[in-house]
Amino acid sequence: MTTLVIAEHDNAGLKGSTLNTVTAALQCGGDVHVLVAGSNAGAAAAAAAQIAGVSKVLHADAAHFADGLAENIAEQVLAVAAAYSHILAPATAYGKNILPRVAAKLDVAQISEITKVDAPDTFERPIYAGNAIATVQSSDAVKVITVRSTGFDAAAASGGSAAVETIAAVADSGKSAFVSREVAKSDRPELTAAKIIVSGGRGMGSADAFKVLEPLADKLGAAMGASRAAVDAGYVPNDWQVGQTGKIVAPQLYIAVGISGAIQHLAGMKDSKTIVAINKDPEAPIFSVADYGIVGDLFEIVPQLVAELG
């Protein structure tokens, strides 16, 4: 029994989600191999070889892998799939784009967003916006799985010494072409990788009001997030959204300001290690998951917190 992890990377290095996926793979049992399909991605392959617990890295290098087009990466996975009992990828936009194609071609059922491995054929995954946990047992010969990174600790990025094997790259499928990419630039940490997040909700009242949160985020070195209600109201950009239809996060500290705590938002942040809620409504659902709650006017409390932080 051997598990293949599809590495998410930018050719120069690995994304953090790959480390969490390796942890899930190790819990499936057997050897763990990592596939790095990219263009001039030797550095990413070398980084994969250093991950603790990985026994082999498969490195496929070709120009048409440069931008991670799902059609091409999926074909590369299928080219080696026969050797594996499990194929795993992070439950990110990258993994979610690739693995359904792989599962369809292998004629197996994909198991999505697992948060726990109970046995090599049995997994747990959240359903109903995280209000219930489904235990799924698969009898498929190959288990195709996306891994919710917040459910697993990251594997150690160093300490491993896996062999790197260069494999033949599949041909360009010609089904898609990379056109352009618009990358949001920020001096703050990336939302899904941040250890501290300060999020605002509809209670902020306006886009300008979000500026009240900036000094707090600056003091803490935090990323800034938002609820869907705040995004839909046009207060902040879409890439700030935390929740079932946004980004799933699990930082060390999550500060929810003016967020009522709808089920869809809780699904995206309830695995945070420590949750602090600030809301003027003492009955707000957010307080049911908060470790610490402050009932009051956020426009008074947040500046006070900033002052206390010095």
Same fold, 2-166 and 191-309: yes
Q: For residues 32 and 16, is the Cβ–Cβ distance under 8 A?
A: no
**Residue 257, φ and ψ in degrees, nearest 5:** -115, 120
Please give the pLDDT value at position 193.
86
Average pLDDT of the residues in 111-135: 94
Between vectors from CA 286 to CA 125 and to CA 262, what angle results, nearest 5°?
60
Is the pLDDT reported for residue 185 higher than 90? Answer: no
Bigger pLDDT: 27 or 183?
27
Domain assignments of the chain as residue spans, ordered by start: 2-166, 191-309
Please give the pLDDT value at position 219.
94
Please give the pLDDT value at position 181.
83
Architecture per CATH, 191-309: 3-Layer(aba) Sandwich (3.40)
Q: Which residues contact 74 (CB under 8 A, 6 or more apart)?
A: 98, 99, 101, 102, 105
Please give the pLDDT value at position 192.
87
* Residue 28 pLDDT class (50, 70, 90 cuts): very high
Please give the pLDDT value at position 233.
95
Please give the pLDDT value at position 210.
96
Please give the pLDDT value at position 274.
97
Written as six digits, the tokens of 273 are 């290690």
- CATH class assigned to 2-166: alpha beta
Is the pLDDT reported for residue 297 higher than 80? Answer: yes
